[in-house]
Amino acid sequence: MRVLCFGSLNIDYTYTVPHFVGAGETLPAAQLRVFCGGKGLNQSVALSRAGLEVSLAGAIGEDGRFLLEYLRGCGVDTRYVEVLPELRTGHAIIQNDARGDNCILVYGGANKCTTREHADRVLAKFGAGDLLVLQNEINELGYLLQTAAARGMRVALTPAPLTESVRELPLHCVDYLFLNEVEALQLLDGEIDPETEPLRAASELRRRYTSAAVLLTLGERGSVYVDGGTQLRQQAVPVQAVDSTGAGDTYMGYFLAGRLSGMEIARAMRFASLAAAIAVSRPGASSSVPARDEVLAGL
């Protein structure tokens, strides 16, 4: 069984601010740090550090070649990442406040130039039983979902950022649906509040998208898992948050790695929660993802 992440690669510009900037406000930043990011890159690093062999497919501009060097250093196979010289690499502007929360503005750049030809070339190397990991920071998601399902691949999807186009995706092709409380609230049209009724919200998402196991992350309130016959809740691991960027990606990578290595669902949730707790105690997105041995020690 092989793992392919088809997703975004970004350059993250992270600004330390006392609070998120408001409309019409000019706010001085205390610090600027540049990180390797993008949900595709973050999830690939998380999957790799959690113990899986993972390949990443996507696109960057010439200005993003250092991202490939970083990924290789993390053990990620980058042979399926295209370099498009005429385009800029995707990037994110991240505000990180005094509480460790973040506010993110994303520019797609080369991430929005995935072609069906590129998708076909890559997916031809994978088949039945392999896992495809997707996010909503690239284009041609619907085509990737349908093509992967036709090849017998399993699919894990993080529909972030959640846009109206997500509702038009063939979500019946998804096996694992990962989302946070904000995305769940949007997908449920505000009918159920995941903060106050997380199990009910996850169950309703499962009812609407019956093929998928739903993983709902709730920050400091933990996480919820619902599939056809199981409902579980995992408490968050208490930690002093420094930067929550990439916490959900870390959780996803470690949960999938746990399940694929044979862990029961509850233990995989605990595994993922510990990894995410370590990640938020450090600055950066992919750079904050812990190594597998560090997380296992916590188990």
Task: Provide the residue ranges of all domains of the chain, joining segments of one domain with +.
Answer: 3-7+38-88+111-298
Q: Is the dihedral of CA 182, 186, 190, 191 positive or negative?
A: negative
CB 53 within 8 A of CB 4: no
Q: For residue 125, what are its two tokens?
A: 């190397």
What is the model's pLDDT at position 285? 78
pLDDT, tens digit, for every residue of 67-119? Answer: 999 999 999 999 999 999 999 999 989 998 988 888 889 899 999 999 999 99
* Nearest Cα residue to 4 out of 107, 142, 135: 135
Give φ, ψ of 59 to 5 degrees: -150, 145
Alpha-carbon span 110 to 114, nearest angstrom: 8
* Nearest Cα residue to 248 out of 156, 128, 122: 156
What is the model's pLDDT at position 253? 97
Q: Is the dihedral of CA 52, 55, 58, 60 positive or negative?
A: positive
Helix (H) or strand (E) holding 234: strand 231-234
Alpha-carbon span 115 to 219, nearest angstrom: 35
pLDDT tens for the 299 residues of the chain, in order: 899 999 999 999 999 999 999 999 999 999 999 999 999 999 999 999 999 999 999 999 999 999 999 999 999 999 999 999 999 999 989 998 988 888 889 899 999 999 999 999 999 999 999 999 999 999 999 999 999 999 999 999 999 989 999 999 999 999 999 999 999 999 999 999 999 999 999 999 999 887 899 999 999 999 999 998 899 999 999 998 888 888 999 999 999 999 999 999 999 999 999 999 999 999 887 889 999 999 999 88
* Nearest Cα residue to 245 out of 101, 63, 65: 101
Q: For residue 18, what are its two tokens?
A: 């006392």
Which residues, in sequence order, are bridge partners of residue 36?
11
What is the model's pLDDT at position 26? 94
Q: For residue 212, what are its two tokens?
A: 């998928």
CB 290 within 8 A of CB 278: yes
CATH for 3-7+38-88+111-298? Answer: 3.40.1190.20
Query: Would you give the distance in Å from CA 110 to the centre of its chain?
Result: 18
Give φ, ψ of 256 to 5 degrees: -65, -40
Instruction: Count other Cβ atoms within 10 Å, centred on residue 22.
Output: 7
Report the relative pairing of strands 10-16 and 31-37 from DSSP bridges: antiparallel
Contacts of residue 168, defined as CB under 8 A and 6 or more positions apart, other chains included, come to 142
CB 118 within 8 A of CB 57: yes
CB 65 within 8 A of CB 83: yes
Q: For residue 62, what are its two tokens?
A: 């010439």
Q: For residue 61, what are its two tokens?
A: 């501009």
Alpha-carbon span 183 to 217, nearest angstrom: 10
